[in-house]
C-alpha cells in the first residue's frame, strides 16, 4: 500500500515507520503524502488508541531530502524548503498534534532538523541512548517553518533552545533526556520493548479519556492558568465506556 512508510497495527497500537533507510528516512513530498494518509486513517480508526512514529534503519529522520530540493529546482534563497514541503509537513504535524490518539515519537537513531520538527509533534518522546539529535537548519542557512521555534522551547526552555539552534550542535539521546527533550532514554537494544510496553499500558485505557486529556493538556499548554482551569471545569466529553469500566473495576474489588 505504501512505498515510503510502513504501518503495523496490533493491540490497539499503530506503529508508523518512515521507510527510506538508504537515505536515512529523509523527508520528501511523497513520504509526507503517505504519512498524512496513514495518520488520517489511524485517527479515524476506533480500534487504535496509540500511534508510535519511528524510522527504519539507523535514523528516525535526517531531515528534508536536499537532493530532491536540488532536483526540483526549489528556490531556497529565503531559507525555506518550498511551499509543497511546508504545506504537507505542517498538515502531517497538525494531524499528529491534534490526534485523538496518544502519539509517541520513538527516536531510534539520527534525528535532525525536519525530522526533529516531526518528532516534536508527539505527546511523548522516547529515545535510544545512542541517538543523535540536532537542529541543523543554520548549518546550511535554512530557517525552521514546521513549528520548531514554538515547540522546542516548551520542552527545554528558550535559552537552551536558542543554543541548540544557533550552534547546530548534536546531542545524544542521553543528553536529550537530561535536557527534557525526551521523557526517557533506553539502550537501543531495549528501546522497542520499553516503548511498546508503555504504549500497551496506554492502549488498555479509555480512548475517550485519552482524547479528553489531550484536549485539556493542550489547553493548559497554550492558555493561561485561569482560562485553562475554567476550560477544564466547563468542558464536557463523550466517554460512554466509563460505565462498563467502572462496573468491571468494582467486580474486581469483590474478588
The span from the CA of 133 to the CA of 130, in Å, is 10
Which residue ranges make up each domain of the chain? 5-203, 207-254
3-class secondary structure, 86 = helix
Distance of CA 141 to the CA centre of its chain: 25
pLDDT (tens, 9 = 90+) of the chain, 255 residues, equals: 899 999 999 999 999 999 999 999 999 999 999 999 999 999 999 999 999 999 999 999 999 999 998 898 888 888 889 999 999 999 999 999 999 999 999 999 999 999 999 999 999 999 999 999 999 999 999 999 999 999 999 999 999 999 999 999 999 999 999 999 999 999 999 999 999 999 999 999 999 999 999 999 988 887 776 776 677 677 776 767 767 876 776 677 777
Kindly state the cell numbers that stand for 101: 490518539
Cα 184-187-190 angle, rounded to 5 deg: 95
Check: pTM over 0.85? Answer yes or no: yes
Kindly state the cell numbers that stand for 98: 491534534
Tell me what pLDDT residue 70 has: 87
Tell me what pLDDT residue 229 has: 66
Q: Which CATH architecture has domain 5-203?
A: Alpha-Beta Complex (3.90)
Tell me what pLDDT residue 241 has: 75
Amino acid at each position: 500500500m505504501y512505498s515510503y512508510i510502513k504501518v503495523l497495527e496490533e493491540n490497539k497500537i499503530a506503529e508508523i515507520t518512515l521507510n527510506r533507510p538508504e537515505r536515512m528516512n529523509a523527508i520528501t513530498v511523497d513520504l509526507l503524502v503517505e504519512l498524512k494518509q496513514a495518520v488520517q486513517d489511524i485517527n479515524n480508526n476506533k480500534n487504535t488508541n496509540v500511534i508510535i512514529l519511528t524510522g527504519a534503519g539507523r535514523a528516525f529522520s535526517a531531515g528534508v531530502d536536499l537532493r530532491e530540493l536540488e532536483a526540483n529546482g526549489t528556490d531556497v534563497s529565503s531559507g525555506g524548503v518550498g511551499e509543497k514541503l511546508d504545506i504537507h509537513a505542517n498538515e502531517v504535524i497538525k494531524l499528529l498534534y491534534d490526534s485523538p490518539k496518544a502519539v509517541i515519537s520513538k527516536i531510534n537513531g539520527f534525528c535532525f532538523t525536519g525530522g526533529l520538527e516531526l518528532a516534536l509533534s508527539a505527546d511523548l518522546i522516547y529515545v535510544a541512548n545512542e541517538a543523535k539529535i540536532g537542529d541543523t537548519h543554520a548549518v546550511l542557512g535554512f530557517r525552521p517553518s514546521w513549528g520548531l521555534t514554538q515547540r522546542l522551547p516548551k520542552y527545554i526552555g528558550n535559552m537552551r533552545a536558542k543554543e541548540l539552534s544557533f550552534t547546530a550542535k548534536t546531542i545524544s539521546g542521553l543528553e536529550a533526556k537530561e535536557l527534557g527533550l525526551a521523557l526517557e532514554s533506553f539502550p537501543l537494544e531495549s528501546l522497542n520493548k520499553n516503548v511498546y510496553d508503555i504504549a500497551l499500558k496506554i492502549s488498555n485505557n479509555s480512548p475517550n479519556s485519552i482524547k479528553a486529556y489531550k484536549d485539556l493538556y493542550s489547553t493548559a499548554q497554550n492558555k493561561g492558568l485561569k482560562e485553562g482551569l475554567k476550560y477544564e471545569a466547563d468542558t464536557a466529553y463523550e466517554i460512554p465506556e466509563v460505565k462498563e469500566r467502572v462496573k468491571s473495576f468494582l467486580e474486581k474489588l469483590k474478588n
